[in-house]
């Protein structure tokens, strides 16, 4: 048979594959009847989408709203998203600045398609969300990663970014609040990144999916910095802040010319998001507006609970996140290989955590734990991890 494209091979990575194999195996065992398996290796909520949002989708389907839509979404939804952005981010934008897209991952992928050419170079960071690689090299660009050191709270050093620059560098992709680390990059760091982008005429692709799930330190949108509005594509999602992971809807905020470019790409890729989901999204922004803060407060309480429960576990350093629904566990003091640790933890304690190497070399010796689970489940996970450490640590 013919060979698949070189793009498929370039997306692969043994560390990432090994890390996610643990999650796949845990889900397989759970579905096979091992209901005592605790799966904290993926970023999904343990509760359902708000009933008001669900009922809107059901009603829309029954009302016949299941036909083709405009490739970048309902104008009314784009207007509501512009108002949401203006209120939450502090930047006044209009519908012409917004494109509705089927999930933030599609937003990153599309942003790469409209900004990059074959041979261009993109700066990303280590660790980074696992699907960036495939999204950013789709146009034939090359990708290099700047280290985010645990000792610097996973915030980049501008000197390291400058060291990664090449003559062919065309764009930078950032993710704050960060998945997997939960770090919120401070305004001063964003200003340094903006300075680099302006000096070297770079595009900035900014994944801000967790912007509404910050705790002590607020999110700062790089579009607010002078000179960044026309070179920044900010990507958002209903998945986390509105508990709509399976609905697959997000949006991009950018300059009107970039939105027009996104519209061309979306026209050939998907030709618009489902109308009943867009109707539900408008309810999320209007009637269920309280959902965002309620989810943030719930996750703050869960974060504090699980961090307290794990504080007494020997040889494990808990890195309390500033945002999101994950925390990093530093297990380097145990002396165990991270992937080996995770597999044994699944086998012996039926607890699935994700090895940090799945996100990059800088997370060697770390495990990612999702606190998207009930209090009782998180307490039991802490107990199982403690028992495992006492046996092997």
Q: For the segment 225-256, what is each residue's pLDDT rounded down to a tens digit?
A: 999 999 999 999 999 999 999 999 999 999 99
| Residue 338 pLDDT exceeds 70 | yes
Backbone dihedral angles phi then psi of residue 351, each to the nearest 5 degrees: -125, 120
Confidence label for 286 from pLDDT (cuts 50, 70 and 90): very high
Phi then psi for residue 58, to 5 deg, are -60, -45
Listed range (1-15, 172-186, 317-331) with the worst mean pLDDT? 1-15
Give residue 10's pLDDT.
80
DSSP 363: G
What does the alpha-carbon distance between residue 21 and residue 55 come to, in Å, rounded to a whole number?
36
Q: How far apart (Å, rounded) are the C-alpha atoms in residues 297 and 301?
A: 6
Domain ranges of the chain: 6-36+291-392, 65-286
Average pLDDT over residues 106-133: 95
C-alpha distance from residue 330 to each of 120, 214, 320, 343, 349 (Å): 35, 22, 11, 16, 19
Cβ density class 91-101: b for 16+ within 10 Å, e for less? bebebbbbbbb
Contact criterion met (CB below 8 Å) for 326 and 179: yes
How does the average pLDDT of the chain come out, rounded? 95
> What percent of the chain is modeled with pLDDT above 70?
98
Cα(79)–Cα(253) distance, integer angstroms: 12
DSSP β-ladder status, 203-207 and 169-175: parallel
Task: Note the CATH number of domain 65-286.
Answer: 3.40.640.10
Which backbone phi and psi does 253 adopt, to 5 degrees?
-115, 125
Residue 380: count of CB within 10 angstroms of its CB? 18
pLDDT at 9 (0 to 100):
80
Query: Could you tell me which CATH class the domain 6-36+291-392 is placed in?
Result: alpha beta
Q: Which tens digit of pLDDT belongs to each residue from 11-40?
A: 765 556 677 899 999 999 999 999 999 999
Q: Which tokens go with 315?
A: 């040889």
pLDDT attached to residue 15: 59
**Of 177, 198, 205, 194, nearest in space to 324 by CA:** 177
The dihedral region occupied by 279, where left means phi > 0, alpha psi between -120 and 50, and beta the remainder, is alpha
* 132/209 Cα distance (integer angstroms): 14
H or E stretch at 99:
strand 98-101
pLDDT in tens, 184-219: 999 999 999 999 999 999 999 999 999 999 999 999
**Residue 393 above 70 pLDDT?**
no
pLDDT of residue 16: 66
For residue 85, name the pLDDT band (cuts at 50, 70, 90): very high
Query: What pLDDT, on a 0 to 100 scale, did the predictor assign at position 75?
Result: 98
Token output for 77: 């939804």
Condensed to tens digits (0 to 9), the pLDDT of residues 339-377 reads 999 999 999 999 999 999 999 999 999 999 999 999 999
Helices (H), the chain: 6-11, 14-31, 51-62, 75-89, 104-115, 132-136, 158-164, 187-199, 256-269, 275-286, 291-310, 338-349, 375-392
Closest CA to 306 of 294, 318, 292: 318
Task: Answer yes or no: is pLDDT of 82 > 90.
Answer: yes
Fold agreement (6-36+291-392, 65-286): no
What string of DSSP letters covers 279-295? Answer: HHHHHHHHTTTTHHHHH
Q: Determine if residue 365 is left, alpha or beta; phi over 0 gives left, psi from -120 to 50 gives alpha, anything else beta.
A: left
pLDDT at residue 312, rounded to an integer: 85
């Amino acid at each position: 048979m013919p060979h698949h494209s070189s793009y498929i091979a370039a997306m692969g990575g043994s560390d990432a594959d090994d890390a996610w194999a643990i999650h796949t195996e845990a889900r397989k065992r759970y579905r096979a009847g091992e209901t005592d398996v605790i799966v904290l290796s993926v970023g999904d909520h343990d509760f359902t989408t708000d009933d008001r949002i669900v009922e809107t989708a059901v009603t829309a389907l029954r009302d016949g709203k299941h036909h083709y839509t405009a490739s970048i979404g309902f104008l009314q939804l784009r207007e509501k998203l512009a108002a949401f952005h203006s209120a939450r981010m502090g930047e006044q934008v209009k519908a012409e600045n917004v494109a509705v897209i089927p999930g933030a991952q599609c937003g990153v992928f599309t942003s790469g398609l409209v900004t990059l050419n074959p041979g261009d170079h993109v700066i990303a960071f280590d660790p980074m969300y696992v699907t960036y690689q495939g999204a950013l090299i789709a146009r034939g660009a090359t990708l290099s990663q700047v280290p985010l050191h645990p000792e610097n709270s996973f915030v980049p050093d501008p000197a390291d970014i400058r060291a990664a620059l090449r003559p062919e560098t065309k764009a930078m992709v950032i993710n704050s609040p960060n998945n997997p680390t939960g770090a919120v990059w401070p305004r001063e760091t964003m200003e340094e990144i903006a300075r680099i982008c302006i000096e070297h005429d770079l595009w900035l692709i900014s994944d801000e999916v967790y912007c509404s799930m910050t705790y002590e330190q607020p999110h700062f949108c790089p579009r607010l910095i002078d000179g960044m509005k026309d070179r920044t594509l900010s990507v958002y999602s209903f998945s986390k802040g509105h508990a709509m992971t399976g609905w697959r809807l997000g949006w991009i905020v950018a300059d009107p010319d970039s939105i027009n470019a996104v519209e061309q790409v979306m026209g050939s890729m998907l030709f618009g998001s489902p109308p009943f989901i867009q109707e539900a999204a408008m309810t999320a922004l209007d009637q269920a507006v309280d959902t965002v803060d309620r989810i943030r407060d719930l996750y703050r309480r869960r974060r504090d609970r699980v961090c307290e429960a794990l504080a007494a576990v020997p040889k494990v350093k808990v890195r309390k996140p500033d945002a999101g629904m994950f925390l990093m566990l530093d297990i380097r003091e145990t002396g165990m290989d991270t992937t080996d640790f995770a597999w044994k933890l699944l086998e012996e304690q039926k607890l699935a955590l994700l090895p940090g190497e799945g996100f990059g070399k800088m997370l060697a010796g770390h495990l990612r734990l999702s606190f998207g689970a009930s209090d009782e489940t998180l307490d039991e996970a802490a107990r199982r991890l403690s028992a495992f450490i006492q046996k092997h640590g």
